Amino acid sequence: MTHVANKALTASFSLTKTASDAFIADTVDEKLYLIERLALALKFDEGTDDGKTLGWADALRMPAYPKGLALVSPRQVGRRRLGTARGRAELIHAIAHIEWHAIHLAIDAALRFEVMPKRFMLDWLGVAVEEAGHFSMLNQHLQMNYQVSYGDFPAHAGMWDMARKTELDVVARMALVPRVLEARGLDVTSEMILGLMRHGDPEGASCLALILKEEVRHVWLGTYWYRYACTLRGLDPEAHFFDLLKKFHTPRTHVSMNILARQLAGFSQLELDQLSLLGQDRSTPNNERHGESNCGPNGALNFAPDGEANSLSQA
Ligand SMILES: [Fe+2]
């Protein structure tokens, strides 16, 4: 992030206005520029607004995409084979698309839930900055090594669904976005790293290794604020988590959990045991019928450990 590194921010700098502008920016350059400004303000503790007057939750909020990006059903995307440069580029493009959404998810959480303390807003704006870093890193890797940019391939059309479903309830948002969708990213990333290594893209693998490390903390923040919000409402966090999985018809996953990463991200042993049992229950295996994917970062990436990725599954 270099564009604004030497520009001083004024005392009247608005974190929330800049975050809002970044959310609606529909070009890569503009969004990253605004996020850079946000990052500087957070770093130097500038911007005094707390988001409580923005009225963010009063309007429909949808992610902004670069012009020309084709949003399609997962069935139109087909399978990705990491043994070809095209397949690896498509996989990395799919992950970049997930990171693009993750920027929006973090900003939306920061600005939407005014009931939460200012620390909550600052934490999720910080996550937005890191997600932008992930996106930028992957996009640069695509450009330098595959001659591909974000927007060159079709992308998954349903990634905002869970944000819409949980827009009225911070408890549900924290449970189902960081602790379900993003936690599934923790589960699949190690295999993707190995797949890229095996097929001659160690740089791509390094990008994913850094992303995995930072995503653990993002999921941990989800756990922290989920429990905080449960406490405010007098809810038992463990029991309520499974109530929410049921209420929102969260599909089971056939992917093995990354237990260590999930422990570091704050999952309790009881939660891990129960999730493991649910994952093994094949009594209702038709994951697609509820309109969600069954694995992957933000629930949108199927990846087979044999080096073939069925990217952008149902959502
Ligand atoms: Fe990320």
Confidence (pLDDT) at 50: 67
- How far is the CA of 204 from the CAs of 48, 81, 147, 180, 209, in angstroms? 38, 15, 14, 25, 9
Q: How far apart are CA 180 and CA 139, in angstroms?
A: 25
CA of 135 to the centre of ligand 1 (A): 7
**234 C-alpha to center of ligand 1: Å?**
31
Q: Parallel, antiparallel, or unpaired: how do β-strands 80-81 and 308-309 relate?
A: antiparallel
Region of residue 23 (phi > 0: left; psi between -120 and 50: alpha; otherwise: beta): alpha
Residues 41-48: contacts with CB under 8 Å, at least 24 apart:
41/9, 41/13, 41/15, 42/15, 42/122, 42/125, 42/126, 42/129, 44/9, 46/9, 46/10, 46/11, 46/13, 47/9, 47/13, 47/14, 47/15, 47/16, 47/18, 48/11
Displacement of CA 47 from its chain's centroid (Å)? 25
Cα distance between residue 221 and residue 229, in whole Å = 12
Question: Which residues have a Cβ under 8 Å from the Cβ of 223 and sit 6 or more positions away?
Answer: 174, 178, 179, 265, 266, 267
- Distances in Å between the alpha carbon of 251 and those of 98, 175, 285, 298? 19, 14, 8, 13
Q: What is the pLDDT of residue 159?
A: 85
11 class by beta-carbon count within 10 Å (0-12 exposed, 13-18 middle, 19+ buried): exposed
CA-wise closest residue to 265 among 231, 208, 215, 211: 215
> Residue 51: what pLDDT?
65
Beta-carbon contacts of residue 214 (< 8 Å; ≥ 6 apart): 130, 134
> Residue with structure tokens 């200012």?
118
What's the pLDDT at 31? 98
User: What CA–CA distance (Å, rounded) separates 50 from 19?
Assistant: 12
Total-model pTM: 0.86
How much distance in Å is there from the Cα of 245 to the middle of ligand 1? 23
- What separation in Å is there between the alpha carbon of 96 and the centre of ligand 1? 9
Q: Which residues of the chain have pLDDT under 50?
A: 1-7, 281-300, 302-315
Query: Which pLDDT score is estimated for 314?
Result: 25
Å from CA of 134 to ligand 1 middle: 5
| Residue 66, burial from CB neighbour count under 10 angstroms (0-12, 13-18, 19+) | middle
Distance 130 CA to ligand 1 centre (A): 7
Ligand 1 centre to CA of 101 (Å) is 9
Decide if 248 contacts 176 (C-beta within 8 A).
yes
Q: Where are the alpha helices (DSSP H) in the chain?
A: 15-24, 28-43, 85-112, 118-146, 161-165, 170-176, 183-198, 202-233, 237-247, 259-264, 269-280
Spacing, Cα 102 to ligand 1 middle (Å): 6
Question: Are 159 and 100 contacting, i.e. CB atoms less than 8 angstroms apart?
Answer: no
- Kindly give the distance from the C-alpha atom of residue 215 to the centroid of ligand 1, in angstroms, as a whole number: 6
Ligand 1: distance of its center to the CA of 5 in Å? 22
Instruction: Report CA(283)–ligand 1 centroid distance (Å).
Output: 32
